[in-house]
Structure 1
Amino acid sequence: MTDIAIFLMDLGGGGAERVMINLAQGFVDHQLSVDLVLVQAKGPYLSQLPAGVNVVTLNSSRLLLSIPKLIQYLKKKQPKFLLSALDDTNFIAILAGKIAGNSTKVAVTVHNNLSQESQNAPQLKRRLTPTFVGWFYPSADYVIGVSNGVTDNLITLGSPPEKTHFIYNPIVSAELLEKLQESVNHPWFASGQPPVILGVGRLSPQKDFATLIRAFAQVRKQHQARLIILGEGSKLDYLKGLVQDFDLTEDVAFPGFVDNPYSYMARAGVLVLSSAWEGFGNVLVEAMAAGTPVVSTDCESGPAEILAQGKYGKLVPVADSQAMAEAILATLTEPTNPEPLKQRAMEFSLENSVNQYLRILRMD
């Protein structure tokens, strides 16, 4: 019998997928058997799977069409736990678990503030997600939010308090610490170059890199610097157009998805999270693990928890480019002691997170 089956659509390059790969590694390290059940075996993280994880591919063209195959898998393998992430996948996991009707416990993880996400979503199904939470999540065995803010929001949406928990994301691992030491093949990080301001994430409305670009335009008036934004997404052309409008083309780069963003973080002058909303804010912890200073919007939910209300990095209002520019300038010009940042980052370690999962799932 498989101990834990992790169910995902694919291994796209998002933060939730990265978290689930980290958890898989942690579970394997604890001598648990792990199946990674994918609707489609694709995505940039496929090449980064931990040894010892068994990949099961359902080979369905759409998530909905995978339901019969997922039910068949659950009946055949009868994993002790089915662990899923992301809204649509969570709903399918709960539904399949109920139809399978065996002893498998279903645990869903929530990586965003769903109220904020639904208010800003153009798609109807995303706007309806809070309603679906009230319908589906009472049937899950465990509902796990990745921050206090996410968990509180889930309970207001109808997730049963007795089933709803929060566990911070497993960010700092031995692999991360190794990757922070790798070199970066980019001329802007050569000795004697101006400091690099770094943004990392999907190029989507949620990440609001437009505000970061506007803030960078103000920074450049007072301080020599460059801006790199790592990631892919629908807003790339819009963001490039904005860079041209501010005449910043020579000082802003969009390298796309890179296998090792952590080496960029380790060499940046400051990492900026510009999001309009979050569930946690993985990149803040990843940068802090390198001792790199951070600036973040005080968005719901996660960053203020990570930064202890501003103790470990400056918090600025959402969509306020002026405040963001001032925080970036202050961070670039004030010496930062990296050690407290590194120590704080270790509180979000893989081992801490996995131990909490095992406690909640009663597998310790």
Structure 2
Amino acid sequence: MRVTLIIASMGAGGAERVLAILANAWVAQQWQVTLLTLDSGDSPPFYDLDPQIQRRSLATSGPSVTLWQAIGQNCHRLWTLRRAIADSRPDVVISFIDQVNILTLIATRFLAIPVIVTERTDPNCHVIGKTWELLRRCTYPWADQIVVQSLTVKQYFPPRLQSRIRVIPNPVLAPRIDAGSGKFHRDAPSGRSLIAMGRLGPEKGYDLLLQAFAQVCDRHPEWTLKILGEGSLRGDLEALGDRLGIGEQVHFLGLVKQPYGWLQQADVFVMASRYEGFPNALCEAMACGLAVIATDCPSGPRAIIRPGVDGILVPSEDVEALAAAMHHLMSDPIARQKLSALAPEVLTRFSLKTVLGLWESAIASVISGAGLNSKQSNP
């Protein structure tokens, strides 16, 4: 099997994490995997990739100053991508994330190569701009299959595409700790800790998390809040913590390649997102046996957490409800233990074997022609 994977870059992110897991697993099955990225490739991949994966950076990303420059750059990007795909001679192409999906569908038009596009967040909430949205509506009918992570995202698309959409969750891997990871924790603040993890962007709701923590931290002075991740809002969030008077109890730890050591030494995981796709961080925390709290935001958490069984769901963007749930678990070690005992079942529910089976069924479908649409007809 020859599969070509396409993504903008291989930095830190949920889509990149899932791509790396799938690519490594398929190489282990003796598949020929080609990875095309649109960036220059100057930065190494954030996630480990098997050396047998054939990587090629197309160096086609970058800003445009004028309209004509944008048109010329996009024509060059599409032509370069089309040639690279053709050169890889794939049995199937799989692209990741909305704008890359659109470019891939245009670049492969009339190449007679099956294409699967994957949405990695909730398009009901994630705005990509009017032009890109129009292009998505025009090009997604050309896809042989569309992979989404939840039924909520599936329902975003029109009825004519529903038969071509598959819901495939992210795989969850068993936690591991690198030999040297313990050094991070010997210097960490002592006492109990809440932990959160993810990109420091507005959709992740860290401002809500800080406000909720500010409501409970006086009653729990021995507790700290650790935040793993990096992003454009870090400075704003640090300033917010200072304004709320919790700066001394909140620790921004930046990007961590292997977060399992931090997760396994925390007491409660909290996710305050405004919207999600299928949050890897939540799954990884549960795999580590953490009691978890998550907002019942559009797409993701409700498909993962079994409320009252292995986690707590609170209404989205409700700071008071989030604070109450945090106070409950911070005060009650028995409640924490009850939730944490069943949380690792996420490893069985979303095992790599199960998710690979779903992906391989989708790939077999488009290759056999069962999922193909009339790509050879005129637009």
Per the normalisation by structure 2, the TM-score is 0.86
- The one-letter code of the counterpart of 1:105 is P
Tell me the equivalent position of 2:79.
68
- The one-letter code of the counterpart of 1:347 is R
1:150 aligns with 2:153: yes
Query: Aligned-residue CA RMSD in angstroms?
Result: 2.3
Tell me the equivalent position of 2:230.
232
Distance 1:180 1:302, change over 3 A: farther
Tell me the equivalent position of 1:319.
317
CA displacement, residues 94-126 of structure 1 (integer Å, 9 cap, x when unaligned):
11111xx333211111111101112xxxxxx43
Distance 2:79 2:139 in 1: 18
Distance 2:46 2:28 in 1: 19
1:275 aligns with 2:273: yes
Tell me the equivalent position of 1:257.
255
CA displacement, residues 126-167 of structure 1 (integer Å, 9 cap, x when unaligned):
3555443321111011100012222222x24x6611111110
1:169-180 matched pairs, under 5 angstroms: 169-173=170-174, 176-178=175-177
CA contact (8 A) 2:149 2:278 kept: yes
CA contact (8 A) 2:124 2:153 kept: no
Distance 1:97 1:159 in 2: 21
- The one-letter code of the counterpart of 2:104 is A
Tell me the equivalent position of 1:362.
364
- C-alpha displacement at 1:358, in angstroms? 0.3
**Which of 133, 136, 139 matches 2:139?**
136
Q: Structure 2: which 5+ runs fail to align?
A: 63-72, 368-379
1:90 aligns with 2:101: yes
Distance 2:179 2:268 in 1: 15
1:58 aligns with 2:58: yes
- C-alpha displacement at 1:81, in angstroms? 1.1
Distance 1:184 1:216, change over 3 A: farther
- C-alpha displacement at 1:43, in angstroms? 4.7
Distance 1:80 1:306, change over 3 A: same
Higher-Rg member (1/2): 2
- The one-letter code of the counterpart of 1:151 is K
CA contact (8 A) 2:37 2:58 kept: yes
CA contact (8 A) 2:177 2:258 kept: no
Tell me the equivalent position of 1:38.
37
- C-alpha displacement at 1:334, in angstroms? 3.5
- The one-letter code of the counterpart of 1:11 is M
Tell me the equivalent position of 1:14.
13
CA contact (8 A) 1:184 1:264 kept: no
CA contact (8 A) 1:78 1:103 kept: no
- The one-letter code of the counterpart of 1:265 is L
Distance 1:45 1:107, change over 3 A: same
Q: Secondary structure at the match of 1:315?
A: strand
Tell me the equivalent position of 2:371.
none
Distance 2:281 2:47 in 1: 21
Distance 1:212 1:343, change over 3 A: same
Q: Secondary structure at the match of 1:37?
A: strand
Q: Secondary structure at the match of 1:114?
A: coil
Distance 1:198 1:116 in 2: 25
Distance 1:108 1:170, change over 3 A: same
CA contact (8 A) 1:181 1:263 kept: no
Task: Give the percent of matched residue pairs that are identical in Structure 1 and Structure 2.
Answer: 28
Q: Secondary structure at the match of 1:45?
A: coil
- The one-letter code of the counterpart of 2:141 is P
Tell me the equivalent position of 1:122.
none
CA contact (8 A) 1:137 1:159 kept: no
- The one-letter code of the counterpart of 2:9 is D
1:105 aligns with 2:105: no
**Which of 168, 189, 195 matches 1:198?**
195
- C-alpha displacement at 1:269, in angstroms? 1.0
- The one-letter code of the counterpart of 1:145 is V
CA displacement, residues 237-296 of structure 1 (integer Å, 9 cap, x when unaligned):
110111111121211111211221222111111111110001111111101111011100
- The one-letter code of the counterpart of 1:198 is I
CA contact (8 A) 1:194 1:225 kept: yes
Distance 1:238 1:61 in 2: 28
CA contact (8 A) 1:197 1:225 kept: yes
- C-alpha displacement at 1:171, in angstroms? 2.4
**Which of 216, 219, 222 matches 2:219?**
222
CA contact (8 A) 1:281 1:302 kept: yes
Distance 2:294 2:32 in 1: 38
Distance 1:213 1:46, change over 3 A: closer
Distance 2:122 2:43 in 1: 24
Distance 2:44 2:216 in 1: 33
CA contact (8 A) 1:94 1:139 kept: yes
Distance 2:180 2:155 in 1: 37
CA contact (8 A) 2:229 2:254 kept: yes
- The one-letter code of the counterpart of 2:94 is L
- C-alpha displacement at 1:180, in angstroms? 10
- The one-letter code of the counterpart of 2:2 is D
Q: Secondary structure at the match of 1:346?
A: helix
Distance 1:43 1:200 in 2: 22
CA contact (8 A) 2:5 2:93 kept: yes
Distance 1:304 1:128, change over 3 A: farther
Tell me the equivalent position of 2:299.
301
Distance 2:144 2:323 in 1: 45
Q: What is the aligned residue count?
A: 349
Q: Structure 1: which 5+ runs fail to align?
A: 119-124
Per the normalisation by structure 1, the TM-score is 0.89
Tell me the equivalent position of 1:346.
348
